Amino acid sequence: MVGLGVAAYQTIRWAEGPVIPAQERPPSKIIVIPDGSTFQFVASLLERERLIKSHSAFVLLGKSQSVDRKVHAGEYELSPAMTPAEILSKLLSGQVVLHPFTIPEGLTLTQIADLISQQGVTDRAEFIRLAKDRAFIASLGIKAETLEGYLYPNTYKFPRTVKAREVLVAMVEQLRQVVGPDLLVRMQELKMTMHEVLTLASVIEKETGAGGERPEISAVFHNRLKKHIPLQSDPTVIYGLPAFDGNLHKKDLSHPSPYNTYRVRGLPPGPIANPGIQAIRATLYPSDSHSLYFVSRNDGTHQFSATLIEHNQAVEKYQKRPFRRASLPHM
């Protein structure tokens, strides 16, 4: 009997150890535990993948801690150098693998949905549905028709196949973290709502990729708003088109859309993209420029003008003259 007891003790001690000693530095494995898995299934999976020595010993370990059905489903990175107790602790705490994905500044809601779908983060259709669901939007404390503009561009980390609701909540919460008390006070000073700030910031974001220009772009739009001059922003027109072929045509500038800032004075009804913090800060802190116009220099930057005469000269220099040169026959 004593011999049997010693043998049993030695077996337990053996089963409690790692499959491969840590000093041998064995590679980790990615294990997926399906939703609703029993503890017996998990133990069998771990034994089959040679992450534990004994299915039975692992089940006993789980029973000693009353953990049946408490293992979180998901994707785990586990090592044969971990002890069964360490593996169980990780499974119970839900330390699943987190996959990073980056949302660049200036993407629309639909473009974000496409990106996260391509990366296998969450369901595209559900993401878009919730982002336009009035009840869900209201539950986040937002007064808007959609979450366009409220999805903060950043690098996020989520487990594989996370729910769309969790992704949206995280992105909105990140916006709240970034727009701190100082910026909220500044909004009050300018008598602008969060929705108005995000709307103008989204237009600034789409107008230029040159970060240093954003305060100047902002000044142009603020000056136009004060003088009740239409913003005349091409990106807002494009956003309101039912279809866009990549080229903005003259007839598009007459398209009857509330986002057509050639026809409608003031800000469009809402954001046309999701702006980053630089565009938001530029909205709240425009330069002290008196410019009312800007035109592309065709190198990613813009020429700014305070008068229409100056603007027309800039258009001639940077837009019309180069095209005329390009159309001349080569000698």
CB 46 within 8 A of CB 52: yes
* pLDDT at position 35 over 90: no
**For residue range 178-223, what is the model confidence (pLDDT) as tens digits?**
999 999 999 999 999 999 999 999 999 999 888 899 999 999 999 9
pLDDT at 256 exceeding the cut of 50: yes
pTM: 0.83
Tokens of 91: 């499974």
Alpha-carbon torsion (319, 321, 324, 330), positive or negative? negative
Q: What is the 3-state secondary structure (H, E, C) of 47-89?
A: HHCCCCCCHHHHHHHHHHCCCCCCCCCEEEEECCCCCHHHHHH
Percent of the chain with pLDDT over 90: 60
Task: Give the pLDDT confidence score for residue 325 in this predicted structure.
Answer: 47
Pick the CATH number of 22-93 from 3.40.50.11930, 3.90.79.10, 1.20.1530.20, 3.30.1490.480: 3.30.1490.480
Could you state, in order of their start, the residue ranges of all structural domains in the chain?
22-93, 99-178, 181-291
Tokens of 92: 């119970």
| Partners of residue 76 on adjacent β-strands | 31
In the predicted structure, residue 33 carries a pLDDT above the cut 50: yes
Confidence band for 6, pLDDT divided at 50, 70 and 90? very low
Give the chain's count of helices (H) and strands (E).
15, 6
* 65 vs 5: which has the higher pLDDT: 65
39-43, 128-132, 142-146, 326-330: segment of lowest average pLDDT: 326-330
Q: Provide the pLDDT for residue 12.
A: 58
Quote the CA–CA distance of 161 and 74 in Å, as a whole number.
9
Contacts of 184 (CB under 8 A, 6+ apart): none
DSSP codes, 161-189: T--HHHHHHHHHHHHHHHS-HHHHHHHHH
* The predicted structure's pLDDT at residue 322: 59
